[in-house]
């Protein structure tokens, strides 16, 4: 349960630090989940592209483009996770 503070309250430094740590952990969890889901989406795109390529439904160029898109999704997710972790360490 998150404690809310009014502007008039001067919280105990220990409580304030605990709230900050909880918020950082929450942000890191969200960032991790985003990276994980982007990786899943990427895997689905790649598997679907390979399947469609092997069945002759799409061209090699389209499959390559889909693979590049999938890899960029993962890279963005990992960069966001790295940024969140670095910010949380400060």
Q: Which tens digits make up the pLDDT trace of 48-71? A: 999 999 999 999 999 999 999 999
pTM higher than 0.85 for the full model?
A: no
Report yes or no on 78 lying in a domain. yes
Each residue of 9-53: pLDDT tens digit? 666 888 888 888 898 889 888 888 988 898 899 999 999 999 999
Report yes or no on 69 lying in a domain. yes
Q: How far is CA 80 from CA 6, 26, 28, 86, in A?
A: 31, 14, 10, 10
- In the chain, the number of structural domains is 1
Report yes or no on 85 lying in a domain. yes
Alpha carbons 86 and 4: distance in angstroms, whole number: 26
Secondary structure (3-state) at 83:
helix
**Domain span at residue 54?**
27-89
Cα 60 from chain centroid?
29
| Tokens 């790649």, located at residue | 46
Report yes or no on 6 lying in a domain. no
Tokens of 48: 């679907």
Report yes or no on 15 lying in a domain. no
């Amino acid at each position: 349960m998150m404690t809310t503070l009014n502007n008039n309250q001067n919280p105990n430094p220990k409580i304030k630090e605990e709230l900050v740590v909880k918020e950082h952990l929450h942000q890191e969890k969200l960032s991790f989940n985003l990276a994980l889901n982007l990786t899943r989406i990427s895997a689905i795109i790649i598997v679907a592209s390979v399947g469609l390529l092997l069945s002759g439904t799409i061209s090699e160029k389209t499959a390559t483009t889909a693979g590049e898109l999938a890899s960029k999704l993962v890279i963005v997710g990992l960069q966001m996770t790295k940024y969140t972790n670095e910010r949380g360490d400060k």
